[in-house]
Chains A and B, each alone.
Chain A
Amino acid sequence: MAKLIYDAMFDDLDMAHKLDRPACQDTGVIQYFVQVGSKFPMIDEIESCLVEAVKKATIESPLRHNCVEIFDEKNTGNNVGTRIPWIDWEVVPNNDEVKIYMYMAGGGCSLPGTAKVLMPLEGYDGAVKFIFDQITSYGINACPPLLVGIGIAGSVEVAAKLSKKALLRPIGTQNPNARGAELEKMIEKGLNDIEIGPGGLTGKNSVMGVNIEQAGRHPATIAVGLSTGCWAHRRALIKFDSSLEYEVISHKGVTL
């Protein structure tokens, strides 16, 4: 069964490449994570450029229309809407470059997303159980093998946001804390031992990797957040210097 699914995945990637089409129809809600130097000369133009880029890509790629306005329940038809594309800003002092991470947040792999504040006596045990329970229920429908992003912090929004930032880290990189790196490895091995397989149809592996990001916690809380990326995990990173010379860091050799 696993072979049947993996064969379909590779056939799909091959056809998508040849026909220049999105490999998965769910091209997601577009999210940007911007790390901008305080001295980057075009800082005022970034937001309007990103919104314009989404409108353009929606027609040219083409992308699926994925922005439904809350309360109105209408699809905007161009992937732009209230606070969408989502832009997360980080300002880097005394720097004149900008790094822009782009993530296509698909519905299927966003569904397992969750975060919870635990009491410290539930501790890391509670966090580990929380992750495993979610992956073996919601995770199996989210197009495994998955990339698992975990945030550990003191409050729910910090843990949730860090879990998404964890997904932006390349597969194979490690948490800078030795215990964090070890926990990443343990959870990865543990999930693979469950043998969820491609598409949840059983097989040797369950995940492509596990990335953890952390922030200091309150003495009275330990919050855990989870975001998952599907096998067709689509992220990109581009860097511009102050003269707008660019480098696509995530995709070597790609030019605009």
Chain B
Amino acid sequence: MSTKTLTTPIKNEDLEDLTIGDVIFLDGYLITSRDDVHHRHIHQGKDLPVDLAGKAIFHAGPIMQEKKDQPGKYEVISIGPTTSMRMEKLQKEFLEATGVKLVVGKGGMGPKTAEGCMAYKAVHTVFPGGCAVLAASRVEEVESVEWLDLGMPEAMWVMRVKQFGPLIVSIDTKGNNLFEKNKAMFNEKKEKVVAEIIKHVDYLD
């Protein structure tokens, strides 16, 4: 297991030696992009208001608070990851269209995203779920917000982060998938566990 820091703009060669299970940190630009951003850009074909090439996206819908003395400037209150699997449908196309190199989220993603990570050289990582104040503490500045008409959780929040992590690599550029591996293990154990329980649930006299 290696521990390293990625800095945006991220190049393909920065990702080559990363393997599932590695723990990394991020310095640079992290932009929230979740369901509606993927839908608008890929499904509706609208141009993104932010250039994401070489940058990191965060599957996250934050709590942001407008600064009282600086209208239009925001402070991040709480920003943990959201369920990445929701973006499975469009993530591969999104990677291709944008040149995003690092995806940060929660939980696993599926085979289509793994194909995308291999083809377009990107990695999917997870930040510990629910740890939203910890994540907020690694944000240096919320530089801007785009597509705020989508509402607070779905807007694109452009942030500069420092030592953002721990990020656990869940899909690497070779297409290895940590959560799919874990799931196979869970399912194997599940068969045995369920077989044992159902011996005890025939309640009819």
Asked if A and B are interacting partners, one says: yes
Using a CB–CB cutoff of 8 Å, the interface residues on chain A facing chain B are: 1, 4-5, 8-9, 11-12, 15-16, 19, 21-27, 62-66, 68, 74-75, 77, 107-108, 111, 123-125, 128-129, 132-133, 136-137, 140-143, 179, 182-183, 186-187, 190-191, 193-196, 198-202, 230-232
Kindly state the interface size class of chain B when it binds its partner.
35 or more
* Contact between B201 and A65, CB atoms less than 8 A apart: no
CA distance A232 to B126 in the complex (A): 17
* Contact between B130 and A24, CB atoms less than 8 A apart: yes
- Taking the closest CB of chain B, its distance from the CB of A2, in whole angstroms, is 11
CB < 8 Å: which of B63, B130, B166, B201 contacts A230? B130
- Taking the closest CB of chain B, its distance from the CB of A135, in whole angstroms, is 9
Question: Residues 188-203 of chain B: 1 if any A CB is under 8 Å from the residue's CB, otherwise 0?
Answer: 0110011011101111
Question: Residues 131-163 of chain B: 1 if any A CB is under 8 Å from the residue's CB, otherwise 0?
Answer: 111101100000000000011111000000000
CA distance A107 to B130 in the complex (A): 12
Name 13 A/B residue pairs within 8 A (Cβ), A-sorted.
Answer: A1-B168, A8-B166, A12-B132, A23-B132, A63-B63, A64-B62, A124-B201, A136-B187, A142-B83, A182-B200, A190-B193, A190-B194, A195-B186
CA distance A232 to B200 in the complex (A): 32
Residue B84 CB within 8 A of the other chain? yes
CA distance A123 to B203 in the complex (A): 9
* Contact between A132 and B194, CB atoms less than 8 A apart: yes
* Contact between B82 and A24, CB atoms less than 8 A apart: no
* Contact between A194 and B198, CB atoms less than 8 A apart: no
